[in-house]
């Protein structure tokens, strides 16, 4: 009984130490630069990536997977093509995509940040208006 308790306590201590030493996906914020825009083709969608602990923009992220769809409005199968655009601002990642109808779109990004062992997944919702 005593042995079991000790093991559990040790495991709890270890996991606490691990989470304190390593920043995780929860330490980064993904936000749309413009949460609302007019619907249309070749729309620029810009995402700001910030380190929540330092408040600083993350400029060296490698975005290796993106998806834009209308999942927030129950149309997950309505997917738009996404192409990266050059960044004009530190920590801002811009993409060209299509928002063909009014409604809410979700952009999902898989991101590698320097010094982070795990891949970050960011989800950002923007609204297209008529």
Cα dihedral value 66, 68, 72, 74, nearest 10:
-120
Q: 105, exposed or middle or buried, with CB in 10 Å at 0-12, 13-18, 19+?
A: buried
* Least distance in angstroms from the C-beta of 17 to Cu ion: 46
Residues at the site binding Cu ion, with contacts judged by CB under 5 A: 70, 75, 78, 101
Q: Closest CB to Cu ion among 106 and 110?
A: 106
Decide if 106 contacts 121 (C-beta within 8 A): no
* Least distance in angstroms from the C-beta of 102 to Cu ion: 9
Would you state the structure tokens that stand for residue 40, as one six-digit string?
């249309």
* Least distance in angstroms from the C-beta of 100 to Cu ion: 7
């Amino acid at each position: 009984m005593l042995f079991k308790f000790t093991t559990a306590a040790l495991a709890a201590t270890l996991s606490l130490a691990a989470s304190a030493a390593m920043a995780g996906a929860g330490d980064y914020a993904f936000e749309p630069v413009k949460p609302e825009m007019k619907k249309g083709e070749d729309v620029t969608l810009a995402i700001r990536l910030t380190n929540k602990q330092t408040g600083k923009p993350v400029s060296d992220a490698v975005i290796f997977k993106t998806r834009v769809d209308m999942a927030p409005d129950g149309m997950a199968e309505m997917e738009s093509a996404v192409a990266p655009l050059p960044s004009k601002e530190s920590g801002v990642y811009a993409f060209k995509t299509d928002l063909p109808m009014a409604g809410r779109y979700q952009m999902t990004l898989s991101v590698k940040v320097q010094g982070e062992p795990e891949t970050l997944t960011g989800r950002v919702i923007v609204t297209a208006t008529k």
